[in-house]
Amino acid sequence: MSKKINIRDLAFEELKTQLINLGQQAFRAKQVYEWLWNKNAHTFEEMSSLSKDLRIKLEEHFFIDGIKVVDQQASSDKTIKCAFEIEKGKVVEGVLIPTTSRMTACISCQVGCSLSCDFCATGKLKLLRNLSAGEIYDQVAYLKRLAEEKYNTPLTNIVYMGMGEPMLNYKNVLRSIDVITSKEGMGMSPRRITVSTAGVSKMIKKLGDDEVKFNFALSLHAANDEKRNKIMEINEKNDLESLKEALVYFYEKTGTRVTFEYIIFKDFNDSIEDARELVTFSRNVPCKINIIEYNPIDDVGYQRADPKKVDEFAAYLESKGLVVNIRRSRGKDIDAACGQLANKNKAVVERTFKTSI
């Protein structure tokens, strides 16, 4: 017997072809597709509108991948962090972040990360594998349901800012967004989705070539190569000049304003001179800047910048006509804040709860 196919890896037209080859009418593809995505079914038995014979055939030829919730923690600020088991011994984390104006799901795209950014807890983990489009989608589906059940509020935004580098899992990230934004999936506007990268220049250009509609953020953190090399190894092969070229290309192709994320560290990148360099780099494309307070992790010497210096830094940028937001971190008490996702509670890898997607 041939190996079963992960049915959620199939695009709609591919699914239609597979079903026709199994002797089914083409319209069945739409039914199956809606069960997989809009209704988030994880067994063929759940697909009650299909005949029993078709469900048996699907079971014989396909499988449905999925994730399992193995831990859940709530912060004092109502942020909720979830540990999702992808397969035995492989866990990623996703975070539901409620604010007065938004309900945001922060999701992961890889188990671990290969980039080793000096200040990031995830970067201390080795990369184990990419997540499939279905596994990424499931995180959103669970956090969406959690938002509705816990806070009686719909999910408003999705950020690909959890574990892993989205540009190094490009195909599955874009596929997951295609389904999330489709009417057969969640029907969410791509303008409610932000994909963040540490800076893979050639893949930023590919986003432009693909004319993506979602929002795009670059984790910049320093606007000179010497400092960026020190904290972000990726800058050695994707320096600021190559990033500038890629960003200009991306903007010309998409017309989408770029967000620069700037984690501000004490006595490292918090001076007015650093702000001047950021202003210069920011002139390359229409942008806004998110200044993010640093969330300390174990065994790293960086410290959070003084709030007064952060305000002075932001004020300087604003005086130069830039759009600036200061992001105060949420979920710090459960290690759910920016840069802290690292499966700190290792026991979750050993546990298996009954709750599953």
Q: What is the rounded average pLDDT of the residues 172-195? A: 97
- Residues taking part in catalysis: 93, 338
Each residue's pLDDT tens digit, 6-60: 999 999 999 999 999 999 999 999 999 999 999 999 999 999 999 999 999 999 9
pLDDT for 309 equals 96
φ, ψ of residue 50 to 5 degrees: the values are -95, 150
**Angle (CA) 261 207 187, round 5°:** 90
In the block, tokens 């409620």 appear at: 98
Closest CA to 328 of 290, 356, 286: 290
Question: What is the model's pLDDT at position 249?
Answer: 98
Contact 151, 144 (CB under 8 A): no
What local confidence, expressed as pLDDT, does residue 88 receive?
87
The helix (H) or strand (E) run that includes residue 3 is none
Q: What is the pLDDT of residue 347?
A: 41
Long-range (24+ apart) CB contacts under 8 A made by 330-334 are: 330/75, 330/77, 330/79, 330/97, 330/99, 331/75, 331/77, 331/79, 331/81, 331/95, 331/97, 332/75, 332/295, 333/75, 333/76, 333/77, 334/73, 334/74, 334/75, 334/79, 334/81
**Per-residue pLDDT tens over the stretch 333-351:** 555 445 444 555 444 433 3
Q: Which domains does the chain have, with CATH numbers?
A: 5-63 (1.10.150.530), 68-350 (3.20.20.70)
- Whole-number pLDDT of residue 345: 44
pLDDT for residue 117: 86
Q: Which of 45-49, 65-69, 187-191, 300-304 has the lowest mean pLDDT?
A: 300-304
Encode pLDDT of 93-145 as tens digits: 999 999 999 999 999 999 999 887 888 877 778 899 999 999 999 999 999 99
**E strand or H helix at 92:** strand 90-98
Pairwise pLDDT comparison (76 vs 309), residue with the higher score? 309
pLDDT on residue 340: 47
pLDDT for res 15 = 97
Mean pLDDT of the chain: 91
Q: Does this model's pTM top 0.85?
A: yes
| Per-residue CA distances from 173 to 112, 176, 303 (Å) | 15, 5, 32
